[in-house]
Amino acid sequence: MPIVAAHAQLERRERIFRIALISTQDNVCPLPRPMGRGWRAAPGSRYLQGSQRGRPGRISKYGTVNDADGRPGMYGGYALDLDGTVYLGEHLLPGAAETIAGLRGAGSRVVFLTNNPLLSCDAYAARLTRLGIPTAPGEVVNSSGVMVAYLRSRFPGRRLFVIGERSLREELLAAGFFLAEGAHAVDVVVAAFDRGFDYRKLQIAFDAIRAGAHFVATNRDPYCPVPGGGRPDCAAIIAAIEASTGARVEEVVGKPSAVMARAVLDRLGLPPDRVIMVGDRVETDIAMGVRAGMHTALVLTGASRRSDLVGVPEQPEFVLDDLRGLLPREAAEGRTR
């Protein structure tokens, strides 16, 4: 490269990083978009459209800076998936506690979200705290809580048949819904992750939907990652009901739905351009982030692999080995000394 051109490029980069250091009282900075080899976006995706979305190397109102090795920079808000991202089973994944402490210490807001309805937000917060990540219930968004809010808004006080486990049923009862044990007069069939799903439940759902009941579900995950493999998840239950009834599920409130995205952004209290969605599934975590206008990072500690990105229209901006890649290198190295 000619000396003059190289000098001009260095000056340009210095100007960009000076901008990144500017802060304002409302914490909205005119920061550049992520650049370098860590920046990924599919041609024609929403990341390449709109005056505020920016392009590689251009200034974007709510963007951020990544350092030279492709790590993201710092964001105002972090939406972190749980299973396969923060922990697997009863064990934290590498660097999870230290990374989350570093993000919080830098002043960023952190919300945990999960499609798994087996526990309440209180129980998820207690699990994270027990594992070494102090968490309040208000910092957790789960599919069962989002389902309760959705049903309150769309079907208040209706009679439900619930394919789901104890936690979801208790939340719906506490919200004032009547839970039927048969198909008679059911207004809504609710499908969720249920390890006790059997032919009896399928028959009741079949009869209720054929009689006119609405059909909604918590999530479309094909399986839930667990140590040593996975457990069939709600997608299998949805498929059984759809195949037998010929009906299609009307709303799935978990990731990647707009219902879940709105709940996460409301909890963080930030616009999507200042939030990064971090998860281990391309088809749920990354898809939701892209559709909602958030930044995205895929971690390779759970369901998806690099090979799963081939041909996928909704690409992550960053692909990281684990959560430690979220911190700028200097901060990450400082926390491991």
The Cα-based distances of 42 to 9, 39, 71 in angstroms read 26, 10, 18
For the chain, the C-alpha Rg in angstroms (whole number) is 22
Q: Which of 26, 67, 69, 81 is an active site residue?
A: 81
Q: Are 180 and 190 in contact (CB under 8 A)?
A: no
Are the CB atoms for 100 and 80 separated by under 8 Å?
A: yes
Give Cβ neighbours of residue 56 (< 8 Å, ≥ 6 apart): 33, 34, 35, 39
Give the total residue count for the chain. Answer: 337
Q: Do residues 117 and 144 touch, judged by C-beta distance below 8 A?
A: yes
Q: Catalytic residue among 83, 194, 280, 285, which?
A: 83
Separation between Cα atoms, residue 285 and residue 308, nearest integer Å? 13
Which residue, 192, 200, 92, 202, is CA-closest to 145?
192
Q: CB-hemisphere CA count at 13 Å for 120?
A: 13
Tokens of 287: 């898809």
- Residue 32: DSSP 8-state: B
C-alpha 331: how far from chain center: 24
Query: CB of 137 within 8 A of CB of 122?
Result: yes
Three-state DSSP class for 126? helix
**Among all chains, which residue has been given the structure tokens 């979220």?**
326
Strand partners, 297: 278, 318
Does the annotation mark 322 as catalytic? no
For the record, the structure tokens of 226 come out as 């667990």
Check if 273 is active-site. no
Could you give the count of Cα atoms lying within 13 Å of 241 in the half-sphere of its Cβ? 33
Residues catalogued as catalytic: 81, 83
